[in-house]
Amino acid sequence: MRIALTQPTMLLKPHTASFTFLLGILVALGALSTDIFVPALPELAAVFRADVATVQQSATTFFIGVACGQLVYGPISDRYGRRPPLLAGLALFVAASVFCAGSTSIEQLISGRFVQGLGVSAAPVLARSIVRDLYAWDEAARALALMGIVLGLSPILAPFASTALLAAGGWRSIFWALSAISVAMLAFVAFGLPETASHARKLNGNGSGYGKGGPLALVHNFVFLLGERRYLAYMAVTCIILTGIYAFVSSAAFVIVHALGYSPREFALCFAIVAIGNILGAIASSRLVMRYGMDRMIRIGTVLAFGSGVVMTALAWLRVDHVAATVAPAFVFLFAVNFVIPHATAGALSPYPKISGAASSLLGFIQLAAGAATSYALGATYDGTPLPLAIAFGLAGVASLLAYVFLVLPLPPAVREQ
């Protein structure tokens, strides 16, 4: 007996500005959970009498949680649709945020952040899959770039919001705010977001092709993707350049507040300046991709990332201990990131419509694993100077350009110029 599934009338329609805006908020939710939390790291170190490396684990475990969750939600969504796992992930995020707000030790907070990451990971991976469901090639890259504009607002607004929350109610108020935001997002998804995976297997329907579920099929899909030269090339570029962002997010507070002696409010301003580079890059990327194509955009972005990373490393090596030596190159780097990530992501996902959830999951997992490793390494090597952060930026810039030259550029022109 086949069960007839009906979906309630949704408030938002695909291909509209409001629909894209909601997807942008979903992508930004994970970043917001980090950006609004970062200014509290120095206070947490004082409150729990913990060293920098221990407090840094609250960022590292969050990245690990997000990375692990990436492997689950995408493949499930290929079988059962985008909405059910998205709703489940957001509900878990609500519960974890409440748990973090009530933590009485740094160990509890670290474990709560891991679960928070598991929950929130559903949002970006499924938002990317929804884009792949609705768009193809350059249109997908443009949609991802537009979502990047919303994402770019998070690091601008979050530090100021965090500073106000810290002043009003301490670090716990940050997690209560995240709880409220996640409840609102849960409601918007439940009543506003339609199902977009038309090929997904619902309840007792019959799956077909790569969309079939089960552990063996999941492993098969991942093995298949890891054997795809195109997928690996674009994945490498995105993962490498993203380590620069994770480096800045996880270490900027310690560098600017502790090493350079600025106040939390001044740090929030510096963070916002860098974030403006991110949002300007997203705006420029969304307008230029239809004219120049994905390949040229990635090329420009990796060259800019290379230059800004090398400049930051050189200034730190020369002991130029001025905040501009960190903020200015980071501004350019985050501008460049938006010329790379949306287009490389579209290049990685577009050829695999029936397993776009698995492809998005694997991409997100490796990105976040790289982010967790970067966060841990910077926490372990922090020496009270900007140098470790600058070296991380330099390596990300150099390696991203090398990945483009040796992995993406050798792909057939018909593939790169889609």
Name the pLDDT band for 415 (thresholds 50, 70, 90).
low
pLDDT digits (tens, 9 = 90+) for 13-39: 766 777 888 888 888 888 888 888 878
The answer to whether position 269 is within a domain reads yes
Tokens 């301490």 belong to residue: 170
| pLDDT band per the 50, 70, 90 thresholds, residue 128 | confident
Task: Answer with the residue of higher pLDDT: 246 or 139.
Answer: 246
8 A C-beta contact, residue 124 and residue 27: yes
pLDDT at 414: 57
What are the tens digits of pLDDT across the range 251-290? 888 889 888 888 877 887 888 899 889 889 988 988 888 7
Name residues whose C-beta falls within 8 Å of residue 310's C-beta, 6 or more positions apart in sequence.
394, 397, 398
Listed range (61-65, 171-175, 217-221) with the worst mean pLDDT: 217-221
Say which amino acid occupies 376.
Y
How many other C-beta atoms lie within 10 A of the C-beta of residue 140?
24
Measure the CA–CA gap between 337 and 277, rounded to whole angstroms: 10
Is 203 within the bounds of a domain?
no
Residue 280 belongs to some domain of the structure: yes
Cα–Cα distance between 269 and 138 in angstroms, integer? 34
Question: The tokens of 34 are what?
Answer: 């980090």
Enter the pTM of the model: 0.74
Q: Is 171 within 8 Å of 42 (Cβ atoms)?
A: no
DSSP annotation of 229 reads: H
Check whether 145 has a pLDDT greater than 70.
yes
Closest C-alpha to 256, from 327, 201, 203: 327
Query: Would you say residue 406 lies in a domain?
Result: yes
In a domain, 297, yes or no: yes
Residue 176's CB is within 10 A of a number of other CB atoms, namely 16
pLDDT reported for residue 10: 55
304 vs 306: CA distance, rounded Å: 5
Distance CA(408)–CA(136), nearest Å, equals 19
Query: Does the pLDDT at position 6 exceed 70?
Result: no
How confident is the model at residue 206, as a pLDDT?
38
Q: How many domains does the chain have?
A: 1
Q: Residue 375 corresponds to which tokens in the numbers above?
A: 């966060």
- Identify the domain containing residue 82 by its residue range: 17-198+213-413
CATH number (domain holding residue 173): 1.20.1250.20
Side chain identity at residue 242, one-letter code: L
CB 312, CB 330: distance < 8 Å: yes
If you ran DSSP here, which 8-state letter would residue 82 be given? S
Question: Helices (H), strands (E): how many in the chain?
Answer: 15, 0
Residue 208 lies in a domain: no
Domain membership of residue 2 (yes or no) is: no
Alpha-carbon distance 194 to 171, whole Å? 36
Is 113 within the bounds of a domain?
A: yes
